Structure formats: C-alpha cells, structure tokens
Amino acid sequence: MNNPMGKQADRSEEIAFLILEDVLGIRIFLADSNQVDGNVDGRWTHDGRSGVVEITGPPAEEQMRAFATAERKGEQSLETGSVERHHNRLAEYLSLQLAEPWAAANVAKLNAVDADERHLFLVARTVYDHEYYARLSDTYENGPVERINALALPEGISDVWFEGRAARGFTKLDPMTVRVARYNRLAGWSTRDVTLEEQQLPAPKIVADTAAAGWRRPRNRS
C-alpha cells in the first residue's frame, strides 16, 4: 500500500494501526506518505526502539470485484466451493502462506528497512482466509479447543498479526471490538480484544457510508 503526500491511511491500514497502538502502547506514523515505491506502511519509535509495519493479505482481486458489483446492485455476494479446514494444522498452513510470493514481497519491503522490530499485519479479503485468521483468536466457548502450533516466521520478521472476528452494537456507527492474534518470535502466540471507535476510521470504500458528512475524524498520521 502506498499513500500520496498528505493522504491519510485507508480503512484497513487505520484499523491495523489502531490495534497495534492499543496493544503495543505506541504512536504510528505513515512511512510511505512520500509514495516511494517499496516503502512500508507504518513506522514508530518507542523507548529507544524502532518498528515498522506492513499491512497486506492474500490476493483476492476477483472476489473483491464481485463483492463491489453485488453491492452496487444491492445483491448479496456469496463465495462458493469447498475449503480445507487444516484442523490442528492451521499454523503449518499459514506458515506456508507466509512463504508465497505475495507475502515474500512484503517481507522483503520490511527487511529493507533498518528497524528493531518488523511487523506484518495480515488482513483477509475472502471468507475462507478470514475464517483461518479468526480461528487463531477464537475462544472456543461452544466447542473443543483447536491446537495451534508454532508459526514459522520469515527471516527478519519479529511479529505477524492476524485480524480476527469483529462485533459491534446495533448500528454501523457503533464502536466495534476486534479480536486479533499475534505471533511474536520470542513469546509465541497471544490474543487481544481491541475496541475501535467508528468515528476514528475512514469511510468504507465498497459499502455505502451511513455517517453524516464531517462526522468521521481519522487521525492525521503524516
């Protein structure tokens, strides 16, 4: 993701930034506001340590186009087909996903930056990938606990984050709570619930925005 000079983070970036800020106690600034090819998305310095983050996910251009078309027509978009659950082997499957070309390109961007910590924040763009990521932070209150093994991190990466399930109040403008799973090279797996105010987020690009003009106030991160 590249952001022109003066432009704010997009919605998926801002969600990721707010989650990292809540969990890590940091303040993130846009790292690619100068639109230099190859720059990472966010950067920070805290307690003498520097960090960078790249927000990405598995390619899903065809599914996103279908979703946008259905939304414009007022129709429901459904994904069809079957998917392997990888039960009790989810970490192994996601380790392979992190070695795919799309992930390797983003890892290379992170490794090109001199930083103490390099974070990869993964956002699912299909129902199937979202289900994989969400299972990492599920509570399993209504079923047996799934075994989640260690993740094979790419060289140079300190942390990988997986955005999970979200819940909000009665309207689309109510706060939402997002569950997130994090894998740290030293500490392993952890999960966290982070509550986000909708007013802090940019408007969605695909679905219609129900907020009044000027209501949204996303942070200036330049």
178-193: per-residue pLDDT in tens? 999 999 999 999 999 9
Give 117's contacts (C-beta < 8 A, 6+ positions apart).
Answer: 49, 50, 51, 52, 158, 159
Give 154's contacts (C-beta < 8 A, 6+ positions apart).
Answer: 98, 99, 103, 104, 107, 120
pLDDT value of position 70: 46
Six token digits for residue 56: 């990405």
Reported as a single tens digit per residue, the pLDDT across 48-85 is 999 999 999 998 655 444 444 445 555 555 555 566 88
Six token digits for residue 212: 């009044």
Helix (H) or strand (E) holding 12: helix 11-24
Top mean-pLDDT range of 106-110, 167-171, 202-206:
106-110
- The C-alpha atoms of residue 13 and residue 123 are separated, in whole angstroms, by 9
pLDDT value of position 84: 85
- The C-alpha atoms of residue 64 and residue 157 are separated, in whole angstroms, by 28
Evaluated on CA atoms 43, 39, 204, 131, the torsion sign reads: negative
Q: Which residue has the tokens 């969605």?
A: 204
Reported as a single tens digit per residue, the pLDDT across 96-143 is 999 999 999 999 999 999 999 999 999 998 989 999 999 999 987 777
Give 124's contacts (C-beta < 8 A, 6+ positions apart).
Answer: 57, 58, 130, 131, 132, 133, 163
**Count of C-beta atoms within a 10 Å radius of residue 17:** 26
> Which among 141, 140, 209 is positioned nearest to 173, based on CA atoms?
209
Whole-prediction pTM value?
0.86
Helix (H) or strand (E) holding 132: helix 127-135
